Amino acid sequence: MSSNTQKSQETAGRAIKAPQARSFGLRSLVVGSAVLALAMLCAQPALRFGGGELKQRVSRAAIVLFDRAAGECGEGKGNCEAGYCCSQYGWCGTSTAYCATGCQPLYGKCDGAVTPQPPAQTTTATVPRPSTGGLPACVPKTCTWAGHCWGAACDVVVPPPATTPATVAPTVAPPVSTPVIPAPPTGIKPLTVRTALPSGTGVILKCTKPGTMAWTFDDGPYTYNQAILDLLKAANMKATFFLNGNNYDCIFDAENKARVKAMVAAGHQIASHTWSHQDSATLNDAAFRYQIRKLEDALMKIIGFAPRYFRPPYGSYNAANLAVLNSLGIRTVNWDVDSGDANGITEATAKTNLATGLKTGLNHIVLSHETPSFIINEVKYFIANFKNKAQWVTVAECLGDTASPYFIVPVLDSSSTCTTDDLKGSVAVGK
């Protein structure tokens, strides 16, 4: 870029630079009628200055409005406003002189000339005002929006007339709602108390009941759930579903609540996979308890009971996690055969992984996921090739657990929603 271009940018920058220009606050299109209207807002209390004074205010208002669309940029000077380019000479602008050769991408856009859009504006036009205007009386300097003086350029502020404070009725807190807990479905008899597991109880990787295997699905409830249930029903096979509360979907969505109920009604086992699929090994005690209790809370509200079985996301856990789970009476289950279908692989590779893992041995616990786009084909392949290899039952059954895989636990609160703010949290011991 030529030295003339640099000088022209510097000259333009100095011409439009006013006090506090570095902040790059409001921007506006400098249109004659708009500038005149803005200047009139501030000039209204002082029309006594006459036509010369009004002309001077219009001119200065235009300068400030234009200044809000440009300024210096670069190291030690800050960034340009969104939509503006920072030239190699450290000035903000929107033409190719600013946005092309030498443009500094760290301090603004650099993809050619752009047209900045003015921000959405609010108006105080409908706000009742006293007859004096209730506006600042400005010396003949610059003004900004809606009659507010720029910086400290005011000689007096006309206060609004005194008013009698309105009587405010005392605030009455709304009644705290109590969540409705449904009765467990017929045939489900959850335990009524938590019973801690022996200290040092470890992670389950295989079935123990002879002739059985367990097929498990993580990360639901999800879109393909009903199709999976239909295929399992036709094959007379049972599975275990390790569920999240707020991961791919929200468990409180109507379709997902229906999926949870359908899994239970079909005789499958549901188990915990945490509330939002955080890596358990990275969480402190309170944060890990939140992941367990938040999902328990949701399932209590949907089906009236919570699971006694748990799988850590990514299969990741530490000794502190196990201590919490054992104290809560929850059995921890991983797997010994992994389809790998959640690792970005192809359908063919997932099938190969299953064939390799199930080729030899018995009493396997197999890992699949509800979420891959090819999961229906994976399920069909699995049933066609491995249905007769063993009796496919729930995890609780393959471990010979004669107690209910569920229990009744206290609810945490009355909320039945999922938000980005509830992905993480903390729950103290005893909650």
Parse the chain into domains and list their residue ranges.
Answer: 12-118+132-157, 212-422
Per-residue model confidence as pLDDT tens digits over 370-413: 999 999 999 999 999 999 999 999 999 999 999 999 999 999 98
User: Quick one: pLDDT band at residue 6, thresholds 50, 70, 90?
Assistant: low
Q: Return the pLDDT at 286.
A: 98
Tell me if 86 sits within 8 A of 98, measured CB to CB: yes
Give me the active site residues, please.
Answer: 218, 369
Tell me the pLDDT tens digit for each residue of 194-233: 999 999 999 999 999 999 999 999 999 999 999 999 999 9
Q: What is the mean pLDDT of residues 119-140?
A: 42
pLDDT, one tens digit per residue, over 12-53 is 554 444 333 333 333 333 334 443 443 444 344 433 334 443
In percent, the amount of the chain with pLDDT more than 70 equals 68
Q: What is the pTM of this model?
A: 0.61
b (16+ CB within 10 A) / e for 177-191: eeeeeeebeeeeebb
The contacts of residue 143 (CB under 8 Å, 6+ apart) are 38, 39, 41, 42, 43, 57, 60, 61, 64, 149, 150, 153
Which residue carries 């600013």 as its tokens? 98
Q: Could you give the percent of the chain with pLDDT greater than 90?
A: 55
Q: Which residues pair with 86 in a beta bridge?
A: 92
Between 386 and 178, the more confident residue is: 386
Query: CA 340, CA 321: separation in Å to the nearest integer?
Result: 24
Q: Which residue has the higher pLDDT, 126 or 354?
A: 354
Q: What's the mean per-residue pLDDT of the chain?
A: 79
Residue tagged 């708009």 (tokens)? 34
pLDDT single digits (tens) 73-89: 888 888 888 888 888 88
Instruction: Select the more confidently predicted residue: 350 or 83.
Output: 350
Q: How confident is the model at residue 270 (pLDDT cuts 50, 70, 90)?
A: very high
Residue with the bigger pLDDT between 36 and 426: it is 426
CATH of domain 212-422: 3.20.20.370
- Cα 141–143–144 angle (5° rounding)? 160
Q: For residue 215, give the nearest of 404, 385, 402 by alpha carbon.
A: 385
Query: Which of 17-26, 58-67, 239-248, 409-418 holds the top average pLDDT?
Result: 239-248
